[in-house]
Amino acid sequence: MQRFIRSRVQVFSTLVVLHGFAAGAALKGEEAVDYTRDIQPILADHCFECHGQDPSSREAELRLDQRTVAVAELNGDPAIVPGNAEKSGLIQRIESPDPDLQMPPPGHGHPLTEAERGLLRRWIEEGAEYRDHWAFVPPVKAGCPNGVHPIDFFVKRQLATTDLVPSPRADRATLLRRLSLDLVGLPPTPEQLDAFLADNSPDAYEKQVEGLLQSPQYGERWARWWLDAARYSDSDGYEKDLPRKQWPWRDWVIEALNDDLPYDRFVIEQLAGDLVPDAAQAEHVATGFLRNGMVNEEGAVIAEEFRMEGLIDRMDCLGKAVLGLTIACAQCHDHKYDPITTREYYQLMAYINNDYEAVSRVYGPGHQKTIESIEKDITAKESAIKQAAPDWEDKLATWIESQQKNLTQTKWHAATPTSAEVPDGICHPELLPDNSVLNLGFRPTSTRLTVLLESDQPNITGLRLCGLKHGDLIFGGPGRSYVGNFAISEIRVEGCSRDSDTYERIEVSSATADAASKNRLIDPYLRRNQEDSRMVGGADYLIDGLWETAWTPDRGPHFHNEPCEAVLQFKEAIQHDAGTKFRIVMEFRHGGNDAHGRKNNFIGRFRFDVTGQESPSAAAVTGDVRQALEKPAADRTADDNRKLLVTWALNDERTKSLANSIHKQWNRWPEGDSVLHLATRDGDDVRDTRILERGSWQSPGSEVQAGVPESLHPLSSDRQPPNRLTLARWLTDRESPTTARVAVNRIWQAYFGTGLVETTDDFGVRSALPSHPEMLDWLAVEFMQPSIPTGKQSEPWSLKHLHRVIVTSDTYQQSAVAAPEAVEIDPQNRLLARGPRFRVDAEMIRDIALAASGLLKDTVGGPSVFPPVPDGLFSLSFTAVDFWDTAKDDERYRRSLYVFRRRSMPDPVLASFDAPSGDAACVRRTYSNTPLAALTSLNATIFTEAAQAMALRLLSKASFNDRDRLIYGYRLCTSRKPIGEEVDALSDLLEATRARLAAGELTAAEIAFNSLTNPADLPPTASPNEAAAWTIVCRVLLNLDATLSKG
């Protein structure tokens, strides 16, 4: 014990040091009062609420957060008279026994302690100096001597003022396990351990560090670190909590980390990847970061209410994950503690308030290969078309001209919608200023949409329904089905004079559309039962009087998401001098069996136009071609030109079959996967940002322009556009006082259990002071500008560099053995006189079991997998969980990163070990140690299967005896070899279990096998009884504290 403790009589001074970074109160007699350490926490906790920067709650016009105001005369003595405590109003008030005068007012929060009053008094006596809040001053590197690892320098320097001394290096096996869990989230294999133990080269450890950093599992382990902050989930949340495909974003994170994408780029691409030059699919996917929040599609919701709620959540996420500032409370009033006003909150929000809630297709490598082959074939056929018709250029030009003429021949006039409703208001269609109607919120699977329209046109011969795209719709719409399309079962038109209310049926003589599916049975996933014979197809179905048939403009892959139109020609023209009112009733009866919206076939955005021309009909060309025709030639994209060429070619006998075969290729287009991401609103959709009174979405107040808070660093140039890219660049500016500190701190927390700043989510004036302020700043600057050689080329903001710096310190490599006195003095190990030891994260607990048992399937990336869940769990779910396709094969043994996360029904295994729910950003998990967690690792299916598999793994070592197997098994779980008593304990259990099995008291098959395994899997030399006995032993091994902990 002497090694750790110099003398016990000095404990008091140690505590003072410890206390120095806790709430200020203790000082040795001769030490000067420090504003940051001693005074600001008191003022922040007790005074700023009423005497801080929020004018709405400020009392007596007094601010104690600004020295100039605090020392000024306000009705009598100034609150603070520097150098004279007696004359200071503040001291008089805090020491007053009169409840009417006393501050803080009795009953208001927590009273000041004697020690706190003493500190305030001394501070004023010493001159009442203020200092800027440390976290708002950019970090600078403090000097540290050459030849010493800076981390060790800072740690030892502080330890020198205490009774603690650093611990020796941990033994190699322990060290490799710690390193492996930290860098890749998995324990080392016995083979890796042996190799390391046998490696006598001086850089043996560094080689392990590099090997682990280069492993693809590094990205998986640290992706989870980021996913917590990003509130990642595989479902939407709220009542419906429908599944979403957000894993492409997760894959992006894994890849970015494995590629060591510098942290500034990592943040910039996630906030504004779509706005960086040459943005490709990956950069768009990256912006899924802010879209990880919840989406509410409960019946009758107003989309805007929950969009605003989502935006507030995005601000919260940015504040916790990147900025390290809690800005959420400024949504209603100026921040009471930190210098952020409500206006500034909304100015910051303005950067992220002009986006579509986009969902787009994503093509993985397999899809991309298919697309390449399609493209290649189409390119060849285009050339063939041009060869087959050498005059193609002239012919195409003529064709384009005639088509353009056709398109303008019929004059259409938008009718003005005055109402759009579905029965019972289960959703609330929104009337947009451009006369279109947008459906967000709940997605009905069977409903009737009634639209009232008005038109001034004197003579109306027909009506055009335009299906329109919109950035808030899945894949841009125009519909809301899986593929972003829709089907209308029936449409009925009624009309009357604008001054009447007596609608009369208007006879429709024909219905035509620019695009339609071939007549076919409804998609299998929408069928209500085996006999379901509902059809989709051409526009005729709109007016055939049958709900069983529907028009869908969906022309199949590659054409799901085009604008489209259907034209209803009236039997007789409608003429009303006062103008015409229409009531259009659209039936949507082609959804599936689902009350919650997944299987809908609803329209997303549409507009109605009218015309007075004779015999109106739908355009002869489809929406995509129409858009190309409407553009000036110079603006046409390659795709536009291709569409024009192919469409023309269909009309020329020489090229028709070639054009048809191009369409066949398009029909092969992969459906792809999808991701939620951000896309900037433009044109008429640009959205302004308003201060919401009391934070309520229903009370928008004055408009604000995008801008950054005054108390933080300025924009590097004020000529930047007010968009997300500007915000992202500002956040990752080297001048940012918090960004690098926050990242470094949270990484430190992952290694040591507690951050250098304990309040990982908050670096504001109420945050905990750093335990090692100079080290935090040194690391933050080192992160931005690497200087210490690690044997690798290190880019600025390299996360791998930061990891190398930390894990190569002696501080990290210390033994975690803790003497009782050391625990007494520093239970949380904030002084770092020993190595970290704590229970690992939920995901690692499951992954360790999978790794030790040999079950782990280590493929990287891809969709989430559905783990087995106990019976009855789904009954706690409001929405029927009909999508839970429990992984039956080895997919269920993928790493925990890939376990499907459902917000309303957290995975019970991971939740038992404190995995966050994804409801909000989480930058600091709590660590519980409950009996429920113990029951989970003892009895949950995944752990039972792991114990069984581990038993077989041990038995498969044919040359091993019992002792070898026990040692091997113990090593698989803890990386170290068991010693005497430990082997005995396990042997005893093994023998006792064997005896009971032999006596027939236990049933081997029940213990040793599960629904996926059977005795046939046994190694040839093993019996079911042996498998069972070893299963019991392995179950214990998987539950050892040493297995569950990083030590």
Partner 1 sequence: MKSPIPHSPAASPVSRRWFLEQCGVGVGSLALGALAARDNAAYGATTNEHPLAVQPPHYAPRAKRVIYLFQAGAPSHLDLYDYKAELADWSGKKPPAELLEGYRAAFIKPDSALLGPKYEFSRHGESGIEISNLLPYTASIVDKLCIVRSVSTTAVNHAPAQILMNTGTQIFGRPSFGAWSLYGLGSEATDLPGYVVLSSANGTSGGASNWGSGFLPTRFGGVPLRSSGDPILYLSNPKGVDARTQRASLDTLKRLNEQELARMGDPQIQARINAYELAYRMQTSGPELVDLTGESESTLKMYGLDPQQPKPGYAKNCLLARRLIERGVRFVQLFHEAWDHHGGLKAGLARRCGETDQASAALVTDLERRGLLEDTIVIWGGEFGRTPMVQGGGADGRDHHNRAFTMWFAGGGVKSGHVHGETDPFGFNVVRDEVPVADLHATLLHLLGMDHKKLTFRSSGLDMRLTGVQGELVPGIIA
Q: Which of residues 231-260 bind partner 1 (CB under 8 A)?
A: 237-239, 241
Of 531 and 871, which CB lies nearer to partner 1 in the complex structure?
A: 871
Q: Does 113 bind partner 1 (CB under 8 A)?
A: yes
- Minimum distance of partner 1 from residue 836's CB (angstroms): 10
> Considering only 31-39, 307-315, 518-526, 793-801, which stretch makes contact with partner 1 by CB under 8 A?
307-315
Q: Which stretch binds partner 1 (CB under 8 A): 259-267, 381-389, 821-829, 857-865?
A: 821-829
Q: According to CB under 8 A, which residues from 309 to 348 bind partner 1?
A: 309, 312-313, 316, 319-320, 326, 328-329, 337-338
Q: Please identify, using beta-carbon distances, which residue of 489 and 1025 lies nearer to partner 1.
A: 1025
The strands making up 447-455's β-sheet, listed across from edge to edge, are: 416-421, 447-455, 580-588, 490-497, 504-505
Q: Among residues 197 and 935, whose Cβ is nearest to partner 1?
A: 935
Closest CA to 784 of 770, 801, 771, 769: 801
Shortest distance in whole angstroms from residue 1002 CB to partner 1 = 6
Task: Name which of 596 and 724 has its Cβ closer to partner 1.
Answer: 596
Comparing CA positions, the residue from 766, 769, 746, 750 lying closest to residue 158 is: 769
Closest distance to partner 1 from the beta carbon of 661 (Å): 51
Judged by CB under 8 A, the residue of 114, 572, 684, 718 near partner 1 is 114
Q: Is 426 in the site for partner 1 (CB under 8 A)?
A: yes
Name which of 211 and 299 has its Cβ closer to partner 1: 299
Kindly identify the residues of this chain, within the stretch 835-874, that bind partner 1 according to CB under 8 A.
Answer: 837-839, 870-872, 874
Angstrom distance (rounded) from CA 424 to CA 682: 33
For the segment 653-692, give every residue that binds partner 1 (CB under 8 A).
Answer: none
What 3-state DSSP class applies to 569? strand
How many beta carbons lie within 10 A of that of residue 745, not counting itself?
24
Name residues whose C-beta falls within 8 Å of residue 288's C-beta, 6 or more positions apart in sequence: 246, 248, 249, 252, 270, 675, 676, 677
- Decide: 279 and 273 in contact? Cβ < 8 Å: yes
| Range 964-1023, binding partner 1 (CB under 8 A) | 981-982, 985-986, 988-989, 992-993, 996, 1001-1008
What is the total residue count of the chain? 1047
- Give residues 271-300 in contact with partner 1 (rule: CB under 8 A): 294, 296, 298-300
Among residues 485 and 767, whose Cβ is nearest to partner 1?
Answer: 767
Within 753-857, residue ranges assigned H as helices are: 773-784, 799-807, 810-813, 820-825, 842-853
Q: Where does this chain touch partner 1 (CB under 8 A) — which range of 177-185, 649-657, 662-670, 825-833? A: 825-833
3-state secondary structure of 708: coil
Shortest spacing between CB 523 and partner 1, in angstroms = 28
Q: Which amino acid is at 466?
A: C
Instruction: Check residue 175 for interaction with partner 1 (CB under 8 A).
Output: no
Output 72 or 329, the one with its CB closest to partner 1: 329
Q: By CB under 8 A, name the one of 533, 929, 1014, 1021 that touches partner 1.
A: 929
Instruction: At 1021, give phi and psi (nearest 5°).
Output: -85, -5
Q: Which of residues 559-578 bind partner 1 (CB under 8 A)?
A: none
Based on CB atoms, which residue is closest to partner 1, 781 or 899? 899
Residue whose CB is less far from partner 1, 340 or 493: 340
Helix (H) or strand (E) holding 193: helix 190-198
Q: What is the DSSP string of 934-967?
A: HHHHHHSHHHHHHHHHHHHHHHT-TT--HHHHHH
Tell me the sheet residues that pair with 513.
566
What are the φ and ψ backbone dihedral angles of 462, each rounded to 5 degrees?
-170, 170
Q: What is the dihedral of CA 853, 854, 855, 861, to 10 degrees?
A: 130
CB-count burial class (<10 Å; 0-12, 13-18, 19+) for 932: exposed
Residues in 690-719 that interact with partner 1 by CB under 8 A: 698
Considering the complex, what minimum distance in angstroms separates the CB of residue 982 from partner 1? 6
Stretch that binds partner 1, among 339-347, 410-418, 483-491, 833-841 (CB under 8 A): 833-841
Q: What whole-number distance in Å separates Cα of residue 891 and Cα of residue 638?
A: 42
CB 876, min distance to partner 1, A: 5
> Of 24 and 82, which CB lies nearer to partner 1 in the complex structure?
24
Give the integer Cα–Cα distance in Å for 147 and 153: 10
- DSSP 8-state code for residue 574: E
Residue number, 243 or 753, with CB nearest to partner 1:
753
Residue 816 sits in the site that holds partner 1 (CB under 8 A)? yes
Identify the bridge partners of residue 591 per DSSP, sorted by sequence position. Answer: none
Task: Compute the least distance from the CB of residue 419 to partner 1, in Å.
Answer: 10
Residue closer to partner 1, measured from CB, 335 or 469: 335
From residue 482 to residue 521, the character string flagging contacts with partner 1 as x (rule: CB under 8 A) and all else as - is: ----------------------------------------
> Is the CB of 82 or the CB of 166 nearer to partner 1?
166
One residue of 50, 181, 193, 768 binding partner 1 per CB under 8 A? 768
- Contacts (CB under 8 A) with partner 1, residues 908-927: 908, 911-912, 914, 917, 919-920, 924, 926-927
Q: Rule CB under 8 A: choose which of 402, 404, 939, 1014 binds partner 1.
A: 939
Burial of 734 (0-12, 13-18, 19+ CB in 10 A): middle
Which residue in the set 7, 68, 201, 875 belongs to the binding site for partner 1 (CB under 8 A)? Answer: 875
- Please report whether residue 544 would count as binding partner 1 according to CB under 8 A: no
Longest dimension (CA), the chain: 105
Q: Which helix (H) or strand (E) holds 727?
A: helix 724-731
Per rule CB under 8 A, count of chain residues that contact partner 1: 134
Site string for partner 1, 769-808 (x = CB under 8 A): x---------------------------------------
Provide, rounded to whole angstroms, the least separation between the CB of residue 37 and partner 1.
11
Touching partner 1, residues 626-655 (CB under 8 A): none
- Closer residue to partner 1, CB minimum distance, 4 or 588: 4
Among 92, 593, 944, 956, binds partner 1 (CB under 8 A): 944
Nearer to partner 1, 784 or 818 (CB): 818
Reduce the secondary structure of 347-413 to three states and give it as a string.
HHHHCCCCEEEEEEEECCHHHHHHHHHHHHHHHHHHHHHHHHCCCHHHHHHHHHHHHHHHHHHCCCE
Task: Give CA–CA dist 660/669, Å, rounded.
Answer: 15
Output DSSP code: residue 646.
Answer: H
Residue 418 binds to partner 1 (criterion: CB under 8 A): no
CA angle 475, 481, 486 (to 5 degrees): 100
CB closer to partner 1 out of 728 and 768: 768
State the minimum distance, in angstroms, from the CB of residue 657 to partner 1.
55
CA atoms within 13 A on the CB side of 301: 20
Interface pick for partner 1 out of 497, 593, 665, 877 (rule CB under 8 A): 877
In the window 22-51, what residues touch partner 1 (CB under 8 A)? 22-23, 25-26, 41, 45
Query: 413 has which bridge partners?
Result: 610
Which one of 930, 1014, 1015, 1021 is in contact with partner 1 (CB under 8 A)? 930
**Pick 378 or 817: Cβ nearer partner 1:** 817
Give the pair of three-digit tokens for residue 555. 């022309």
Rounded to the nearest 10 degrees, how much is the dihedral formed by the CA atoms of 823, 829, 830, 833?
A: 90
N-term to C-term CA, the chain: 20
